[in-house]
């Protein structure tokens, strides 16, 4: 893995149901993850972690061996301390939970979850995810891989319990979030959002100052910073999932020039777009 680079979602190959990767950062190694969403479901099964998880239920503190589940299209974010950290990330297509095998656990995963296991079950889950990782990299389409994925999902649903968040009502169901939906939906449906703060505020029927305060409360960065990060994360996905050239991507995302795109990408990810694309060719996560 290239140090300082962390971007989701990974590319679920056509015909596959899921992807699994292992992520590891040493003490004081640079880490950054902007508030984001994706069109796939996601488990993060932590080995070592110290920090906070921001999701639909609010904010909660992360501990070693915790698990978080984020459903498709929910915004979420992490803040981690400088301590070393590692986890497995499993991203899978939503229809996996719609199969007959998942009927008994489907309701458990209807919203974002921060989960904790009984001590006696931690090693069991960690072993299962390691088996899944090994099986995926041997053959992601094998019956064994699919069975292990289903087993992991069912075991988490059976033994993990939810960690109480700092707010009881999910932010996605709050009047604050609903007021911002015209703009939030643009970010969910577009790779680049070109609305000015004034235009975004008008779309939400708010004054620019009120809109800016509300936006920062939800996304934890100001509007202009988030619009740039959204474009850069969209660029990273296009680099990993498409054959578009760096120049084509820069214009696709409405950067003023390819050189501006390259400089902004390197400033945020610490590597050039070309280096980032190369890092994905081996799936070395």
Describe the crossing of helices 119-138 and 143-159 by its angle, rounded to 10 degrees: 160
For residue 39, is pLDDT > 70?
yes
Provide the 10 A C-beta neighbour count for residue 176.
11
Average pLDDT over all residues of the chain: 87
Closest CA to 228 of 171, 269, 284, 280: 269
Q: Residue 190, exposed/middle/buried by CB under 10 A (0-12, 13-18, 19+)?
A: middle
Residue 8's pLDDT is: 56
Cβ-proximal residues to 275 (8 Å cutoff; 6+ apart), any chain: 2
Residues 81 and 50: beta-carbon distance below 8 Å: yes
Q: Got the DSSP string for 176-220? A: HHHHTHHHHHHHHH-S-----HHHHHHHTT--HHHHHHHHHHHHS
Of the chain, the percentage scoring pLDDT greater than 90 comes to: 56
Q: What is the pLDDT of residues 185-238, one digit of tens each?
A: 888 788 899 999 999 999 999 999 999 998 887 777 899 988 998 898 889 888
The predicted model gives 264-281 an average pLDDT of: 84
pTM of the model: 0.74
Is 1's pLDDT higher than 50? no
Q: What is the pLDDT of residue 237?
A: 80
pLDDT at 2 exceeding the cut of 50 = no
Residue range 138-156, pLDDT digits in tens? 999 999 999 999 999 999 9
- The answer to whether 244 and 238 are in contact (CB under 8 A) is yes
Lowest mean pLDDT among 34-43, 116-125, 269-278: 34-43
At 57-86, the pLDDT tens digits run: 778 999 999 999 998 877 788 889 999 999
What does the chain come to in residues? Answer: 285
CA pair distance 75, 71, nearest whole angstrom: 9
The H-or-E segment that residue 142 falls in is none
CA 63 to chain centre: 18
Q: How confident is the model at residue 284 (pLDDT cuts 50, 70, 90)?
A: very low
Note the pLDDT of residue 148. Answer: 98
Q: Which pLDDT does position 272 carry in this prediction?
A: 93
8 versus 150: which is more confidently predicted?
A: 150
């Amino acid at each position: 893995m290239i140090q300082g680079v962390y971007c989701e979602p990974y590319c679920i190959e056509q015909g596959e149901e899921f992807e699994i990767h292992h992520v590891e950062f040493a003490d004081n190694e640079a880490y950054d993850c902007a508030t984001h969403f994706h069109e796939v479901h996601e488990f993060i099964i932590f080995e070592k972690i110290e920090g906070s998880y921001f999701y639909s239920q609010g904010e909660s503190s992360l501990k070693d061996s915790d698990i978080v589940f984020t459903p498709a299209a929910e915004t979420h974010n992490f803040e981690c301390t400088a301590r070393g950290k590692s986890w497995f990330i499993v991203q899978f297509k939503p229809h996996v939970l719609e199969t007959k095998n998942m009927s008994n656990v489907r309701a458990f995963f209807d919203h974002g979850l921060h989960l904790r296991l009984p001590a006696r079950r931690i090693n069991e889950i960690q072993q299962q995810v390691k088996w899944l990782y090994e099986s995926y990299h041997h053959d992601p389409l094998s019956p064994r891989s699919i069975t292990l994925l289903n087993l992991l999902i069912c075991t988490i649903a059976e033994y993990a319990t939810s960690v109480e968040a700092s707010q009881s009502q999910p932010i996605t169901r709050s009047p604050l979030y609903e007021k911002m939906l015209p703009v939030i939906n643009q970010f969910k449906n577009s790779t680049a959002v070109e609305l000015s703060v004034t235009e975004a505020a008008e779309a939400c029927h708010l004054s620019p100052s009120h809109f800016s305060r509300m936006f920062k409360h939800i996304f934890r960065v100001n509007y202009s910073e988030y619009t740039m990060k959204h474009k850069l994360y969209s660029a990273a996905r296009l680099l990993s999932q498409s054959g578009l050239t760096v120049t084509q991507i820069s214009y696709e995302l409405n950067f003023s020039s390819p050189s501006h795109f390259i400089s902004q990408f390197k400033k945020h990810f610490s590597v050039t777009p070309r280096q980032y694309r190369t890092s994905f060719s081996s799936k070395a996560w």
